[in-house]
């Protein structure tokens, strides 16, 4: 009997543990968001986090976008040439970049940079008593450390993705005109004629959600880290892995919401 | 649940009537953060801090097993005890960093565990804390660390804060130029001084010191102890320290208490440590291997 019940009990414990973790993360996010509407507000910390995400992540996101656009043109040209449909390359590139690749790849790049950075910084503050020190200095750590970062994540990512969209399309245009012999004006006309406002907006909404998730996972894992250097290292890894998986999972959910027929 | 004789929430417990003259007299010597309630409580002889039957367990492991402790106003209490005996959890419970499972913690006769969250946060304005490792914010320069509470509460502007930081740094024997450095550029002794400056900058009326001399050489330890005594006296504050360092305990403390297995097993004058007549305290204070305290070794 135990042979049957033990694995079931283990599965049950796992499910309960997962539910507890999701619940705790949701409560953490709710509390942090509630602080965005109650003074005092830490504008300086928001700007610092905003700059860290939007400005200092720009080089890595820009490079990712440019190369993705370039590769996408090459791949789609090879594929479409089999059906004499190379005229659709520009359309495919712009849709793929704005709807999917811009937000998802930028999200994954920022997850690696920012989630890790937030988790390591806040985790170190946790294990060196700096978070307790904030409380004794009459400062709510959620309001001071978490809320400004969540807001910065949600607002900075759309800007970053807007830049990534432009650079991704330009990367594609560069290869299409210089290597594949497309006429520049025709390629650009096909790009802008086919692009709709909703395509861009859906990508920016995704970016905002991903930015929030990246900041949430970084701060949550750091805030709950335990032990010393090993604990902080573990929190950093968990933050990056969890935020990356959540970005991919939420990308499906959001795409289903925006575009499912 | 409130009992029929409990005071209203946030009000001092029943106490002898205090005369206005006595209150005014005390107001002259107590720190600026002292409230009317604490003046009344002090004049009436109510302990500054009172813990009754405080219990706390973590994952089934009992850390505090009914702590009873009283700290009179403007006195300096040192809590002694071995590693894992519950010293840190005791002060974290008073600070509100740990929520006790049972018991009562009163400050100026007010049961702080029953206070609404906002009032409890406001209580923090009157409390300073020096952490064992300093816990300085390494993303901020020293002057912002020192005036963090004043800036966070917008009690002063940034320009004023620099002046106030220089003033407090001078009190702990540091030059104003140290204010522009990062905490990581300071030695251990200087970090402790900055942490002390941060603890006293907002002129609290209760200050906690967690192992203030740990990691310092004996001379620097004595210097820090001297600064602590001076600052506490100057502010007229109530101090609670936890330490393993007996020389430090005798220098800082007026009173001492020994915690063992989550209970206070002795209270007395700090000067008597080592010859208190209590076998546990004397074993601990003299660092003897043989005695009633047995080190628990995990097999």
Would an 8 Å CB–CB cutoff place B187 in contact with chain A? Answer: no
Question: How many contacts, defined by CB atoms under 8 Å, are there between A and B?
Answer: 52
Report yes or no for ipTM above 0.90. no
Nearest to B135 among A129, A138, A140 (CB): A129
Question: Would you state the pLDDT for residue B28?
Answer: 46
CA–CA min distance A154, chain B (Å) = 23
Return the half-sphere exposure (C-beta side, CA atoms, 13 A cut-off) of residue B284: 30
CA–CA min distance A216, chain B (Å) = 21
Cα separation, B70 vs B104, in Å, equals 12
Question: Would you state the pLDDT for residue B291?
Answer: 81
Nearest to A138 among B97, B125, B131 (CB): B125
Domains of chain B: 20-286 (3.40.50.300)
Using the predicted structure, report yes or no on whether residue A216 has a pLDDT greater than 60: yes
Chain centroid, CA B196 distance in Å: 12
Q: What is the pLDDT of residues B128-170, one digit of tens each?
A: 999 988 899 999 999 999 999 999 887 888 899 999 999 999 9
Q: What is the pLDDT of residues A156-198, one digit of tens each?
A: 999 999 999 999 999 999 999 999 999 999 999 999 998 999 9
Q: Which of A141-155, A207-221, B39-53 has the lowest mean pLDDT?
A: B39-53
Would an 8 Å CB–CB cutoff place A118 in contact with chain B? Answer: no
> Which tokens belong to B151?
């800036």
Q: Does A138 sit within 8 Å of B149, measured CB to CB? A: yes
Using the predicted structure, report yes or no on whether residue B35 has a pLDDT greater than 70: no
Q: What is the phi-psi region of residue A253: left when phi exceeds 0, alpha when psi lies from -120 to 50, beta otherwise?
A: alpha
H-type alpha helices, A101-194 = 102-110, 116-127, 130-136, 141, 147-178, 184-194
User: Average pLDDT of B206-223?
Assistant: 88
Would an 8 Å CB–CB cutoff place A91 in contact with chain B? Answer: no
Q: Does A137 sit within 8 Å of B149, measured CB to CB? A: yes
Question: Would you state the pLDDT for residue A261?
Answer: 65
Taking CA atoms, what residue in B is nearest to A44? Answer: B152
Residues of B in contact with A132 (CB under 8 A): 92, 95, 97, 131, 135
Would an 8 Å CB–CB cutoff place A177 in contact with chain B? Answer: no
Nearest to B135 among A40, A132, A140 (CB): A132
Q: What is the pLDDT of residues A24-70, one digit of tens each?
A: 999 999 999 999 998 888 999 999 999 999 999 999 999 999 999 99
User: Average pLDDT of B55-81?
Assistant: 93
Question: Would you state the pLDDT for residue A140?
Answer: 92
Would an 8 Å CB–CB cutoff place A135 in contact with chain B? Answer: yes
Write the DSSP assignment of B217-234 as a string of letters.
-HHHHHHHHHHHHHHHHH
Using the predicted structure, report yes or no on whether residue B45 has a pLDDT greater than 90: no
Confidence grade of residue B34 (pLDDT, cut at 50, 70, 90): low
> Which tokens belong to B267?
């209270």
Taking CA atoms, what residue in A is nearest to B127? Answer: A136
CA–CA min distance A255, chain B (Å) = 39
Q: What is the pLDDT of residues A219-260, one digit of tens each?
A: 999 999 998 899 999 999 999 999 999 999 999 999 999 887
Q: Which of B15-19, B39-43, B248-252 has the lowest mean pLDDT?
A: B15-19
Using the predicted structure, report yes or no on whether residue B19 has a pLDDT greater than 70: no
CA–CA min distance A139, chain B (Å) = 7
What is the pairing mode between strands B255-260 and B263-269? antiparallel
Residue A221, H or E segment: helix A197-223
DSSP state of A143: I
Using the predicted structure, report yes or no on whether residue B46 has a pLDDT greater than 60: yes
Question: Would you state the pLDDT for residue B85?
Answer: 87
Confidence grade of residue B5 (pLDDT, cut at 50, 70, 90): very low
Question: Would you state the pLDDT for residue B84?
Answer: 83
Question: Would you state the pLDDT for residue B180?
Answer: 96
Q: In three state form, how does the secondary structure of B276-298 look?
A: CCCHHHHHHHHCCCCCCCCCCCC
Confidence grade of residue B264 (pLDDT, cut at 50, 70, 90): very high
Using the predicted structure, report yes or no on whether residue B197 has a pLDDT greater than 80: yes
Q: Is residue B108 within 8 Å of B46, Cβ to Cβ?
A: yes
Calculate the alpha carbon distances from B134 to B175, B182, B212, B218 in Å. Answer: 19, 13, 9, 18
Pick from B103, B80, B139: nearest CA to B257:
B80
Nearest to A136 among B122, B129, B133 (CB): B129
Return the half-sphere exposure (C-beta side, CA atoms, 13 A cut-off) of residue A121: 17
Calculate the alpha carbon distances from A207 to A28, A259, B175, B257 in Å. Answer: 21, 16, 48, 57
Confidence grade of residue B9 (pLDDT, cut at 50, 70, 90): very low
């Amino acid at each position: 009997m135990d042979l049957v019940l033990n694995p079931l009990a283990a599965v049950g414990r796992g499910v309960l543990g997962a539910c507890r973790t999701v619940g705790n993360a949701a409560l953490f996010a709710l509390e942090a968001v509630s602080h965005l509407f109650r003074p005092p507000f830490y504008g300086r910390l928001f700007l610092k986090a905003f700059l860290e995400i939007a400005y200092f992540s720009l080089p890595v996101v820009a490079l990712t976008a440019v190369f993705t656009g370039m590769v996408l043109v090459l791949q789609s040209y090879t594929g479409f040439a089999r059906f004499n449909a190379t005229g659709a390359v520009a359309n495919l590139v712009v849709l793929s970049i704005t709807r999917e690749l811009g937000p998802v790849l930028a999200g994954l790049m920022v997850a690696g940079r920012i989630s890790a950075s937030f988790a390591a910084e806040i985790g170190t503050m946790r294990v060196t008593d700096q978070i307790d020190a904030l409380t004794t200095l009459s400062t709510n750590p959620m309001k001071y450390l978490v809320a400004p970062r969540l807001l910065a994540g949600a607002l900075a990512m759309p800007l970053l993705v807007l830049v990534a969209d432009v650079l991704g399309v330009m990367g594609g245009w560069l290869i299409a005109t210089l290597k594949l012999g497309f006429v520049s004006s025709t390629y650009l006309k096909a790009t802008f004629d086919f692009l709709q406002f909703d395509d861009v907006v859906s990508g920016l909404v995704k970016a905002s959600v991903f930015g929030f998730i990246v900041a949430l996972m970084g701060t949550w894992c750091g805030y709950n880290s335990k032990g010393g250097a090993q604990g902080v290292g573990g929190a950093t890894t968990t933050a990056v892995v969890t935020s990356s998986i959540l970005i991919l999972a939420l990308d499906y959910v959001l795409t289903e919401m925006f575009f499912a027929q | 649940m409130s009992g029929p004789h409990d005071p209203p929430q946030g009000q001092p417990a029943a106490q002898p009537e205090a005369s206005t003259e006595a209150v005014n007299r005390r107001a002259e010597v107590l720190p600026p953060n002292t409230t009317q309630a604490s003046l009344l409580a002090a004049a009436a002889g109510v302990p500054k801090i009172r813990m009754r039957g405080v219990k706390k367990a973590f994952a089934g492991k009992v850390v505090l097993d009914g702590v009873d402790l009283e700290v009179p106003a403007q006195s300096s209490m040192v809590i002694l005890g071995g590693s894992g005996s519950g010293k840190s959890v005791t002060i974290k419970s008073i600070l509100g960093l740990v929520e006790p499972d049972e018991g009562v913690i009163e400050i100026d006769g007010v049961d702080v565990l029953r206070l609404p969250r906002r009032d409890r946060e406001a209580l923090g304005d009157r409390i300073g804390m020096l952490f064992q490792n300093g816990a300085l914010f390494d993303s901020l320069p020293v002057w912002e660390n020192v005036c963090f509470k004043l800036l966070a509460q917008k009690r002063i502007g940034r320009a004023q804060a620099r002046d106030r930081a220089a003033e407090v740094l001078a009190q702990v024997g540091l030059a104003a130029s140290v204010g522009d450095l990062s905490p990581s550029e300071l030695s251990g002794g200087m970090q402790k001084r900055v942490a002390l400056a941060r603890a006293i900058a907002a002129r609290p009326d209760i200050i906690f010191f967690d192992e203030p001399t740990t990691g310092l050489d004996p001379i620097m330890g004595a210097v820090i102890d001297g600064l602590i005594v001076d600052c506490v006296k100057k502010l007229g504050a109530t101090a609670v320290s936890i330490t393993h360092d007996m020389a430090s305990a005798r220098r800082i403390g007026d009173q001492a208490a020994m915690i063992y297995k989550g209970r206070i097993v002795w209270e007395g004058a700090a000067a008597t440590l080592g010859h208190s007549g209590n076998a546990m305290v004397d074993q601990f204070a003299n660092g003897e291997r043989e005695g009633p305290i047995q080190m628990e070794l995990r097999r």
